[in-house]
Amino acid sequence: MTIDPRTTDPIDPMGKLITEIRDDPGVFAIAAGRVSGQQRDTMAVPCVIVIDLGSSKVSSESGVRRYSYGARCYGPNAATGDITAKQLANAVVGAVGSRGPRRYATVGIYRSTEVSSGPVLIDPDTREPYVIVSLELAVVAGAMT
C-alpha cells in the first residue's frame, strides 16, 4: 500500500529514536543498552530516559511533522556521576544530534537535531546527577520512496 505523506500523519518516531540512541556505539559504551521511554527500576547505573514533548505539523503541503523529545542522561550516584552524565549526554548528541535523512519501513526521519543541552541537575528523588538533552525530529510518513 502506498502512503501519501502529504495526507498521512507519520507514526510517532519515538521508538526509532530510542533504537538509534541505544544502538549507537558511543552511548552503548556508557549506558550498555539502558535506553528507554519509561522510568527505570534499577538505580545507580548510567541510563537514558527519552520523554515525548509533543509535535506539530510543519506544513500541510509537505506532510512534514516536527517532534520534540527530551533525553534525561543519568550518571550513577557516585563521585564522578556528573562527568558520566555529561559524557552520556555528549554521546546522545553525537548519535542523533545532527543527522540527516534516513528511511525506515514505517517512518522517514528527514532530520534530527539537538535543540539544547542543559547543565547537570540532581534528581530530587534519587540524588543522581543527570543532563537533559532536547531533540527535534522532522518526520514524514513511511512512503518516502
Partner 1 sequence: MANTGDVTFKENAAFTKRLERAFAYGFLAFGYEVERSAKRNVHVITGNLRRSIHTVCYLHGESIVKGQDENGNATPDYGSHKDVQVYVGTNTGYGAYEEFGTMRRPAHPFLTPAFHEHLGKAKAIIEKQVKKELGA
User: At its nearest, how many Å lie between partner 1 and the CB of residue 137?
Assistant: 12
In sequence order, the 6+-apart residues with CB closer than 8 A to the CB of 126 are 43, 77
Site for partner 1 in 7-26 (CB under 8 A): none
- In the list 6, 19, 32, 57, the residue contacting partner 1 (rule: CB under 8 A) is 57
Which amino acid type is present at position 111? Answer: R
User: At its nearest, how many Å lie between partner 1 and the CB of residue 124?
Assistant: 6
DSSP for 55-72, please give it: EEES-TTT--EEEEEEEE
Distance, CA of 69 to CA of 55 (rounded, Å): 9
Range in contact with partner 1 (rule: CB under 8 A) among 11-19, 22-30, 43-51, 92-100: 43-51
Rank residues 39 and 145 by Cβ distance to partner 1 and give the closer one.
39
Query: Does the CA dihedral 128-134-135-136 come out positive or negative?
Result: positive
Rank residues 96 and 133 by Cβ distance to partner 1 and give the closer one.
133
Binding letters toward partner 1, positions 120-139, x by CB under 8 A:
-x-xxxx-x---x-x-----
Distance, CA of 113 to CA of 75 (rounded, Å): 23
Binding letters toward partner 1, positions 73-112, x by CB under 8 A:
----------------------------------------
Burial (CB count <10 Å: 0-12, 13-18, 19+), residue 132: middle
Q: Helices 81-96 and 14-23, interaxial angle, to 10°?
A: 120
Residues in the site for partner 1, rule: CB under 8 A?
39-40, 43, 49, 51-57, 66, 68, 70, 72, 118, 121, 123-126, 128, 132, 134
